[in-house]
Amino acid sequence: MSQDLWTAVDDYIEELLVAPDAALDAAREASAAAGLPEIAVTPSQGKLLYLLARMVRARRILEIGTLGGYSTIWLGRALPPRGRLVTLEADAKHFDVARENIARAGLSKRVDQRLGLALETLPLVAAEGAGPFDFVFIDADKESSVEYFEWALRLSRPGAAIVVDNVIRDGEVADPETEDERVQGIRRLNEALARESRVSATTIQTVGSKGYDGFTLILVGA
């Protein structure tokens, strides 16, 4: 079992099941050309986010961690005509690259980008009454995962879905002695989820072109 095989299978799945989309392809290319880290969700993961958002009939979506807007475009595509997506990003360069990518996808009117540390912009989003959200994608600094989850829960309606990316990290999440602060952040999230009676959650390990990782899926309302 190897990375080459996982990548070949992702290529096979994407060829058949993920329709080409010029704006999504352009977003990946422009993000790479601008020197952004190549850590966006894969095409098949992007389509999973799109399908999950459609399954909960999301009209309001919150994303924490925009990067170049690749996952933003997938989620924006899941919205009905009057739907809205708020996406939070701390890095001004990422924010600017995402703005171009989102515009090219024709989503500028539906997507509300906020520049700043998410723990500073989330209170503003809450104060404006931008929620309640039907779907939240948490994909920023993993150290703050518990805080992001708590905000997501506070800003979500019953029946909302919350997805957290990068929760396995090559299996390191199961190591109680881990010194990686990002993994420690995910372990604190898991402990919070275990205690939280207002949600029901599970975590799925994944392999693919981005290696061995996984995501947590949380349903708001036990």
**Site for ligand SAH, rule CB under 6 A:** 39-41, 65, 67, 70-71, 88-91, 94, 117-118, 139-141
Do β-strands 84-89 and 111-115 pair in parallel, antiparallel, or remain unpaired? parallel
Q: How far apart are CA 9 and CA 198, in angstroms?
A: 37
Nearer to ligand DHB, 59 or 62 (CB): 62
Q: Binding to ligand DHB by residue 10, rule CB under 6 A?
A: no
Which of residues 39, 56, 115, 192 is near ligand DHB by CB under 6 A?
39
Structure token pair of residue 125: 């989003």
- Indicate the SS3 state at residue 38: coil
Whether 34 contacts 93, CB under 8 Å: yes
Q: Minimum distance between the CB of residue 207 and ligand DHB, rounded to whole angstroms?
A: 14
What is the residue type of 149?
F
Specify which residues 165 forms β-bridges with.
215
Q: Minimum distance between the CB of residue 203 and ligand SAH, rounded to whole angstroms?
A: 18
Nearer to ligand DHB, 45 or 190 (CB): 45
Q: Which does 112 bind (CB under 5 to 8 A by kind): ligand DHB, ligand SAH, Mg ion, none?
A: none
Nearer to Mg ion, 144 or 166 (CB): 166
Task: Give the footprint of Mg ion on residues 133-172 (CB under 5 A).
Answer: 139, 165-166
Q: Which residue is nearest to Mg ion (CB)?
A: 165
Instruction: Give the E-state strand segments of the chain in sequence order.
Output: 60-64, 84-89, 111-115, 133-138, 156-165, 199-208, 211-220
Task: Give the footprint of ligand DHB on residues 83-142 (CB under 6 A).
Answer: 139
Nearer to ligand DHB, 89 or 139 (CB): 139
Specify which residues 63 forms β-bridges with.
87, 137
- Indicate the SS3 state at residue 219: strand
Specify which residues 85 forms β-bridges with.
61, 111
Q: Minimum distance between the CB of residue 100 and ligand SAH, rounded to whole angstroms?
A: 14
Which of residues 165, 173, 186, 207 is near ligand DHB by CB under 6 A?
165
Q: Which does 141 bind (CB under 5 to 8 A by kind): ligand SAH, ligand DHB, Mg ion, none?
A: ligand SAH
Torsion of CA 36, 37, 39, 41, to 10 degrees: 10
Phi, psi of 103 (to 5 degrees): -65, -45
- Interface residues with Mg ion (CB under 5 A) are 139, 165-166
- Interface residues with ligand DHB (CB under 6 A) are 39, 139, 165-166
